[in-house]
Amino acid sequence: MSVSVTTPSPGAPNFYYASDTALGGIVSAVGLVSSTSPVPLWALEIDNTLNAVPVYVKLWATFAAGVVVGTSPPTMQFSAPASKKQTYSFAGRGPNLTAGLALTDFGWACVLEPGTSGLTAPTAPVAVRILFQQDPPP
Amino acid sequence: MSTVTSRAKDYGLADVSCNIDNVGVSPETFNIFMGPVTLHTLTARFEKSSGLDWACYLKVYDSLSPKVGFGLADPLWILQCRSGETFTMTFPDGYTFTNGISLRATRAGGSGTPGDLAPEGITKVTLLGRKS
């Protein structure tokens, strides 16, 4: 079981940071501060140093409660090689995580299988951190 | 239809860059660097030209081809590209593709055949890597 925590990034208005110390095969919700603005990603770190196989972090631009891991097609997917901490950094605004819908949260999970199918959680904990931006609510 | 418009190795440089003027869904852009490569940057931009779709999904494969038999391989990365916005991914230490880089752009995320249609617009991608 893991918990995603979203906090404002100190000194950087509209930037928010979410982390999960053991993201697994059950979708976890990342809370948003604005329900309508897009969520450009700025950085993502996947610490897979404890696992000897690659892992895949999947993001869903929909309410986390409606996501079925292994069935719902992920909006975005990133990987971390075996036994490695992988950092993704985006120069300028990164890809937007948005469905064009009003969302109060988005979902993420970490599994051993790429693509839509697969819901096998990593054997050892995978810590994941994400830095994203949201404009303040109107 | 995709076209690789330049390769730095053609000019004798160790680093390899490729500009792809339109990543397609079929035919896909496959084995761009002709084998293993360590990727340092990926820049992508989607320009909507018609229809209702406001984004495309760039799928990046560590494989010589996204196709396996009559099916599709699972992508390594899935990147949502919003129309009119450019983003760049950087890897200071590189991200090693042990087989090769292949790309596809589709209308839907996930993998497999659902939503596996060509985007309603042009997807431009620039890659900078170093041959392994």
Residues of B in contact with A81 (CB under 8 A): 96
CB B57, CB B78: distance < 8 Å: yes
> From 1.25.40, 2.160.20, 3.30.70, 2.60.120, which CATH number describes the A3-133 domain?
2.60.120
Name residue A127's beta-bridge partners.
Answer: A47
Supply A99's token pair. 């469905």
Residue B102 predicted with pLDDT over 60? yes
pLDDT at B14: 59
Does A77 contact B78 at a Cβ distance shorter than 8 Å? yes
The ipTM, to two decimals, is: 0.86
Does A92 contact B88 at a Cβ distance shorter than 8 Å? yes
Q: Can you give chain B as a three-state secondary structure string?
A: CCCEEEEHHHHCCCEEEEEECCCCCCCCECCCCCCCEEEEEEEEEEEECCCCCCEEEEEEEECCCCEECCEECCCCEEEEEEECCEEEEEEEEEEEECCCEEEEEECCCCCCCCCCCCCCEEEEEEEEEEEC
Instruction: Provide the shortest C-alpha distance from residue A100 to chain B (in Å).
Output: 9
pLDDT digits (tens, 9 = 90+) for B18-59: 778 778 776 677 788 888 999 999 999 999 988 778 888 999
Does A75 contact B114 at a Cβ distance shorter than 8 Å? no
pLDDT digits (tens, 9 = 90+) for B69-97: 667 889 999 998 888 888 899 888 899 99
Distances, alpha carbon A16 to alpha carbons A9, A32, A101, A112, A137, in Å: 5, 9, 20, 27, 14
pTM of the full structure: 0.88
CA B103 centroid distance within chain: 3
What share of residues in chain B are helix, strand, coil (percent, to 5)?
5, 55, 45
pLDDT digits (tens, 9 = 90+) for A6-40: 677 777 778 888 899 999 999 988 888 777 777 88
pLDDT digits (tens, 9 = 90+) for A74-107: 999 999 999 999 999 887 666 666 655 567 788 9
Residue type, A110: C
Residue B9 phi/psi, 5-degree rounding, is -65, -20
Residue type, A104: T
Residues of A in contact with B44 (CB under 8 A): 95
Residue B3 predicted with pLDDT over 60? no
